[in-house]
Amino acid sequence: MQHLANVGISILFDGLAYAMILFVISVGLSVTMGLMGFVNLAHGAFAMAGGYVTVSLTTRYGVPFPLALAAAFVLVGAGSIAFERLLYRRLYAAGELDQVLLTIGLAFMAIAGYTFVYGPEPQSVKVPGYLGGRLDLGFGTFPAYRVFMIAIGAVLICGLWYGFERTGLGARIRAAVDNRAMARSIGIDVDRLFTLTFALGSGLAALGGGLAVNLIGLTPTFATQYLVLFLIVVAVGGLGSIKGTVLAALVLGVFDNAGKYLYPDGGGFFIYAITVLLLLLKPAGLYGRE
């Protein structure tokens, strides 16, 4: 019995760590999609870029892991501004099909580019010693890396919630998500707001990608492999809702992880079945606006 409880707790714990990755990567997608209605299938490619930046910095240049993560956030976030200005901007008014095609094209190019530079084999990242072992939390010992992930996720959730709900910038973003035309007409520069959130979202995706290397691995197909999962988190949670993204990431992360442990062959099926069912009932997601 004791053993069973331990297994249960460790599955739940793994699921939580996994959910944090899903949240950190998806939240930017959710806000940018909510803000501009832009279907960005290249979001996974930004996360992947973060993963490769982290790998390169830690293994090739010996940069400490936390610093490499911060660098991934800044570099990818800043780099994404160029994409937003040059490419995405042209298609804000276009239909979702055009946006899908453009961003699939970018994702393909990213996959090819990273395969060319890094090769198709999985990459690993050097994690500092204090994150390598196990940590005693009083009710059990857990891998330190997962504890670290959950802690980062919790801090980010709180930080984003505060920024979104309690600051002027967050209020402007929420206003623009709710009603873009009205936000414009009261003098909010929605375009600049979007560039800013886009950079922030891509940076967070890169951070998530860097964190994910040690947990789910990194190959050049990362850009599309997990994309469906990110999109599902966004769609289930509801566009532009941080609360919804947190909830969807937790539920999907924990269930997907548990399903893979307990029922390795069919675990994936239930996630998608639940998603379809939920979207049929609430097409705008749990906390989206109809």
Partner 1 sequence: MAASKPDLAARARAAEFLLRRHRLRAAEALPWLAAVLAYFVFPGHLVFGSQLLIMVLFALSLDLILGYAGIVSLGHAAFFGTGAYTAGMLAARCGWTEPLSGLLAAGAAAALVGWVSGWFLLRYRGLALLMLTLATAIMLQELGNVRADITGGFDGLTGITIAPLLGRFHYDLYGHTNYLYALAVLFLLFLLVRRIVYSPFGQALTGIRENVRRMHALGSPVHRRLVVAYTIGAAIAGIAGGLFAQSNEFVTLGVLGFDRSAAVLVMLILGGAGRLYGAFVGAAVYMLLEDYLAKLSPEFWEFGIGLLLVLTVLFARRGLLGLLEDAGRHFGRGAPR
Write out the residues near partner 1 by the rule CB under 8 A.
33, 37, 39, 87, 90-91, 95-98, 100-102, 104-113, 115-116, 224, 228, 231-232, 235, 239, 265-266, 268-269, 272-273, 275-276, 279-280, 283-284
The least CB distance from residue 146 to partner 1, in Å, is 26
Q: How many Cβ atoms from other residues are within 10 Å of residue 42's Cβ?
A: 27
Taking the complex as a whole, the smallest distance from the CB of residue 166 to partner 1 amounts, in Å, to 28
Nearest approach, Cβ of residue 228 and partner 1 (Å): 6
* Nearest to partner 1 of 103, 214 (CB atom): 103
- For the bound state, the minimum distance from the C-beta of residue 55 to partner 1, rounded and expressed in Å, comes to 19
Return d(Cα 115, Cα 111) in angstroms, integer: 6
Closest residue by Cα to residue 24 from 156, 125, 148: 156
Closer CB to partner 1, residue 127 or residue 274? 274
**CA separation for the pair 281, 10 (Å, rounded):** 33
Residue for token pair 């414009």:
184
In the complex, the smallest distance separating the C-beta of residue 222 from partner 1, rounded to whole angstroms, is 14
Name the residue nearer to partner 1 (CB basis): 210 or 259: 259
CB of 267 to partner 1, least distance (A): 8
**DSSP one-letter string for 139-192:** S-EEEHHHHHHHHHHHHHHHHHHHHHHHSHHHHHHHHHHH-HHHHHHTT--HHH
The least CB distance from residue 119 to partner 1, in Å, is: 10
Q: What is the DSSP string of 209-264?
A: HHHHHHHH-B-TTHHHHTHHHHHHHHHHH-TT-HHHHHHHHHHHHHHHHHHHHH-T
Of 162 and 269, which has the nearer Cβ to partner 1? 269
Rounded CA gap, 217 and 47, in Å? 12
Q: Between 193 and 248, name the residue whose CB sits nearer to partner 1.
A: 248
Chain center to CA of 77: 13
Q: Which is nearer to partner 1, 98 or 189 (CB)?
A: 98
Number of H helices, E strands in the chain: 12, 2
Pick the closer one to partner 1 by CB: 174 or 260: 260
Which pair of tokens denotes residue 240? 């532009």
